[in-house]
C-alpha cells in the first residue's frame, strides 16, 4: 500500500481491506511507521517509536488497524503519566476498561501520543516532551490535552487515536487540526479516574464521523463501578450515520454573554454552518441557554483544581518522596496551591452553579434539538501563547485568559454531560482549520451523529490535507 493511500483511508476502509485480504496488518503497521518517520520529527506528536510488531486480534471489527493511545490513558505498556516529569519512564501495567474495549475491537496499539501534564492544559506543551506542533502550521499548537492525538490523526500517522475530554480536550484539538472530535455523554464510555464532578469522558479522535460512531459502538456501555448510567442506544451508532436526521430545531450563538465573544474566523464558521443547516431543511435561529457565565467559570476553576493536591499527594506516596519543583510545570504548582485553598463550601457553591447551568441547558432543549457554537474563540494558538511553564500569572489569571481568548465554548458540556462534537467547517484567513461545535440533548449521540454526518456529506473535509501530511512523503510508499 502506498503511503498516500494509507493516509487517506479511515479505519473503516482499512479494516475492510484487511478482511478482504487486499492488505496485511503488517503492511499497515509498516505504513504507520513510515508515516511517523515522515512527519513526527516536525510535529513531535508521539511518545517513543511506532511498534510495528504490536499485537492485534483477528475476526474483530478493526483487526490489524493501527491506533495510537493518548499518553496517560490506561493502556498496558503505555506511558503512565500524561506529560509529567514526575512519572517519566513509568508504564501502565494493565489495560483499564476503556483501553480493553478498544483492544477487543482488534486494533494494533502501535504507540502513544503526547499530552500536557496530567491533561490539565489546552495546549500540548510540556517540559518532558517539548511542544507538539500543528500539521497545518508548525508555529501553532494542535491544542490540548489530546493535541498529540489530533496532530497524529490529521497528519495521517493513524486514522484513530484514543482521546479524553475534561473541558474540551477532544473538541478543541479537533478544531485546531481539522478533524472530527466527539465528546460522548457522561457515562457513555468508561472513565475510571473521575473525581467529584465527573467532568471527563473517554473517546477517540478520527477523520470521519463513521469511524467515531463505530468506535463508540465498541466502547460504550456500563461497567462495574460506573458512577453514571445512561440508556443504551436503540441501535448501533454506526447505523445512525446513514440515517436522515429529519427537520430539526437548531439554535446558534457566537458569544457567551458577558464573558467571551468568538473571533471573526470562528463567528464566520458558525454563520456559514447555520446557513448550510438551513439549506439542508432545518429550522435555525439565534438562541442560547441562559447560563450565568462569569459565575459558571469561577465554579469551573474550583472544580478543575480541587482534586490536584490529592492526586499529586497520591503520586508522592507512590514514589516515596515529595515532588520536586522541577518535576512539575510551573502552572501545575500554582493549580496545586489553588486547589489547596478550595473549601467544602466552595465545592458546594460550585455544585449549585453547575446545577443552575444544567437546568438552563435542559430548558434550552425543551425548545431546540441542537445547539451550534464555535468550538473555540480563535484558530489554533501559537506555540508558547499558553505555555504552562512560561507565565507569571496566577492560576486564576492564566485560566481566565485561556478561556476568554481560546476555549470558552467547550467546558459547559463537561459539566452538564451533554454530547458535543467539533465538526470541521472551513479554513480561516491564515489557512488554519476552523471547527464548529454541535451539542445534542442528553444521551443524544444518535441524533448528533446523524447531523454531523449530514454536514460531512454537504461540506466534505477529509480530502483537505495539511502541509505536513504523511501522504506527501517522497516516494509515496511504506518502507
Sign of the four-CA dihedral 241, 246, 248, 253: positive
370-374 vs 260-261, strand pairing mode: unpaired
| CA torsion angle 303 309 315 319 (round to 10) | 170
Cβ-contact 383, 151 below 8 angstroms: no
Residue 478 has pLDDT above 60, yes or no: no
Residue 460 has pLDDT above 50, yes or no: yes
C-alpha cell at 275: 446557513
pLDDT in tens, 196-225: 899 999 999 999 999 999 999 999 998 888
Cβ-contact 447, 440 below 8 angstroms: yes
Partners of 163 in the beta sheet?
203
Residue 77's CB is within 10 A of a number of other CB atoms, namely 15
Residue 479 has pLDDT above 50, yes or no: no
C-alpha cell at 343: 473549601
C-alpha cell at 28: 499497515
Cβ-contact 146, 170 below 8 angstroms: yes
Over pLDDT 90: what percentage of the chain?
Answer: 95
pLDDT in tens, 252-283: 999 999 999 999 999 999 999 999 999 999 99
Active site residue 70: yes
Active site residue 169: yes
Comparing 33-42, 308-317, 381-390, 467-476, which segment has the lowest mean pLDDT? 467-476
pLDDT in tens, 18-32: 999 999 999 999 999
**Distance from C-alpha of 431 to C-alpha of 138, rounded to nearest angstrom:** 12
Active site residue 139: no
Residue 475 has pLDDT above 80, yes or no: no
pLDDT in tens, 42-83: 999 999 999 999 999 999 999 999 999 999 999 999 999 999
**Distance from C-alpha of 152 to C-alpha of 35, rounded to nearest angstrom:** 9
What pLDDT is recorded for position 476? 42
Catalytic residue among 145, 150, 185, 358: 145
Residue 180's CB is within 10 A of a number of other CB atoms, namely 29
Cβ-contact 414, 346 below 8 angstroms: no
Over pLDDT 70: what percentage of the chain?
Answer: 99
Cell 454536514 found at: 455
Please tell me what DSSP assigns to residue 471. Answer: G
Residue 234 has pLDDT above 50, yes or no: yes
Cell 504552562 found at: 388
Q: How far apart are the first and last CA of the chain?
A: 10
Choose among 25, 118, 28: nearest CA to 71. Answer: 118
Average pLDDT, the chain: 96
What pLDDT is recorded for position 440? 98
Average pLDDT over residues 105-116: 98
**Distance from C-alpha of 56 to C-alpha of 281, rounded to nearest angstrom:** 44
Residue 474 has pLDDT above 80, yes or no: no
Residue 467 has pLDDT above 90, yes or no: yes
Cell 463508540 found at: 216
Using 50, 70 and 90 to split pLDDT, how confident is the model at 429?
A: confident
Catalytic residue among 70, 105, 212, 238: 70
Using 50, 70 and 90 to split pLDDT, how confident is the model at 190?
A: very high
pLDDT in tens, 393-402: 999 999 999 9
**DSSP notation for 251-318:** EE-SEETTTEE--HHHHHHHHHHHHHHHHTT-EEEE------HHHHHHHHHHHHHTTHHHHHHHHHHH
**Distance from C-alpha of 405 to C-alpha of 342, rounded to nearest angstrom:** 25
**Distance from C-alpha of 237 to C-alpha of 254, rounded to nearest angstrom:** 29
What pLDDT is recorded for position 473? 79
Average pLDDT over residues 372-378: 98
Catalytic residue among 126, 146, 163, 169: 169
Residue 477 has pLDDT above 50, yes or no: no
**Three-class SS of residue 411?**
helix
Average pLDDT over residues 450-475: 92
Domains of the chain: 3-472 (3.90.1300.10)
Residue 442's CB is within 10 A of a number of other CB atoms, namely 16
**Distance from C-alpha of 135 to C-alpha of 428, rounded to nearest angstrom:** 15
Q: What is the CA radius of gyration of the chain?
A: 21
Residue 438 has pLDDT above 60, yes or no: yes
pLDDT in tens, 3-19: 999 999 999 999 999 99
Give every CB contact of residue 226 below 8 A, 6+ residues apart in sequence.
187, 190
Choose among 120, 127, 86: nearest CA to 327. Answer: 86
Amino acid at each position: 500500500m502506498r503511503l498516500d493511500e494509507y493516509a487517506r483511508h479511515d479505519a473503516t476502509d482499512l479494516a475492510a481491506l484487511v478482511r478482504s485480504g487486499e492488505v496485511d496488518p503488517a503492511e499497515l503497521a509498516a505504513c504507520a511507521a513510515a508515516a511517523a518517520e515522515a512527519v513526527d520529527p516536525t510535529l513531535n506528536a508521539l511518545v517513543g517509536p511506532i511498534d510495528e510488531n504490536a499485537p492485534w486480534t483477528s475476526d474483530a471489527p478493526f483487526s490489524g488497524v493501527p491506533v495510537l493511545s493518548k499518553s496517560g490513558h490506561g493502556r498496558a505498556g503505555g506511558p503512565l503519566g500524561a506529560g509529567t516529569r514526575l512519572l517519566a519512564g513509568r508504564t501502565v501495567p494493565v489495560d483499564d476498561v476503556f483501553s480493553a474495549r478498544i483492544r477487543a475491537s482488534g486494533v494494533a496499539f502501535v504507540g502513544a501520543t503526547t499530552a500536557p501534564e496530567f491533561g490539565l492544559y489546552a495546549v500540548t506543551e510540556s517540559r518532558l516532551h517539548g511542544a507538539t506542533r500543528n500539521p497545518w502550521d508548525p508555529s501553532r499548537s494542535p491544542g490540548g490535552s489530546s493535541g498529540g492525538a489530533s496532530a497524529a490523526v490529521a497528519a495521517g500517522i493513524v486514522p484513530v487515536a484514543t482521546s479524553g475530554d475534561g473541558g474540551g480536550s477532544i473538541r478543541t484539538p479537533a478544531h485546531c487540526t481539522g478533524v472530527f472530535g466527539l465528546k460522548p455523554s457522561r457515562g457513555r464510555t468508561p472513565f475510571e479516574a473521575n473525581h467529584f464532578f465527573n467532568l471527563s469522558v473517554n473517546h477517540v479522535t478520527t477523520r470521519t464521523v463513521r469511524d467515531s460512531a463505530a468506535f463508540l459502538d465498541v466502547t460504550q456501555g456500563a461497567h462495574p463501578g460506573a458512577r453514571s448510567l445512561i440508556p443504551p442506544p436503540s441501535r448501533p451508532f454506526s447505523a445512525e450515520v446513514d440515517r436522515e436526521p429529519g427537520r430539526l430545531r437548531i439554535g446558534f450563538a457566537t458569544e457567551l454573554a458577558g464573558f467571551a465573544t468568538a473571533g471573526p474566523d470562528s463567528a464566520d464558521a458558525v454563520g456559514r454552518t447555520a446557513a448550510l443547516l438551513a439549506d439542508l431543511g432545518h429550522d435555525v435561529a439565534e438562541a442560547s441557554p441562559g447560563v450565568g457565565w462569569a459565575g459558571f467559570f469561577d465554579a469551573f476553576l474550583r472544580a478543575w483544581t480541587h482534586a490536584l493536591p490529592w492526586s499529586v499527594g497520591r503520586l508522592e506516596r507512590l514514589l516515596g518522596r515529595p515532588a520536586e519543583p522541577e518535576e512539575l510545570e510551573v502552572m501545575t504548582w500554582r493549580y496545586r496551591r489553588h486547589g489547596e485553598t478550595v473549601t467544602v463550601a466552595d465545592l458546594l457553591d460550585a455544585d449549585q452553579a453547575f446545577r443552575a447551568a444544567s437546568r438552563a441547558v435542559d430548558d434550552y432543549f425543551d425548545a431546540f434539538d441542537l445547539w451550534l457554537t464555535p468550538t473555540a474563540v480563535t484558530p489554533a494558538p501559537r506555540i508558547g501563547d499558553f505555555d504552562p511553564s512560561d507565565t507569571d500569572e496566577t492560576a486564576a489569571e492564566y485560566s481566565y485568559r485561556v478561556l476568554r481568548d481560546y476555549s470558552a465554548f467547550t467546558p459547559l458540556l463537561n459539566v452538564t454531560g451533554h454530547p458535543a462534537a467539533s465538526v470541521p467547517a472551513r479554513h480561516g484567513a491564515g489557512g488554519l482549520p476552523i471547527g464548529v461545535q454541535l451539542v445534542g440533548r442528553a444521551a443524544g449521540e444518535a441524533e448528533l451523529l446523524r447531523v454531523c454526518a449530514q454536514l460531512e456529506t454537504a461540506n466534505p473535509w477529509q480530502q483537505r490535507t495539511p502541509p505536513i501530511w504523511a501522504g506527501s512523503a517522497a516516494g509515496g510508499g511504506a518502507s
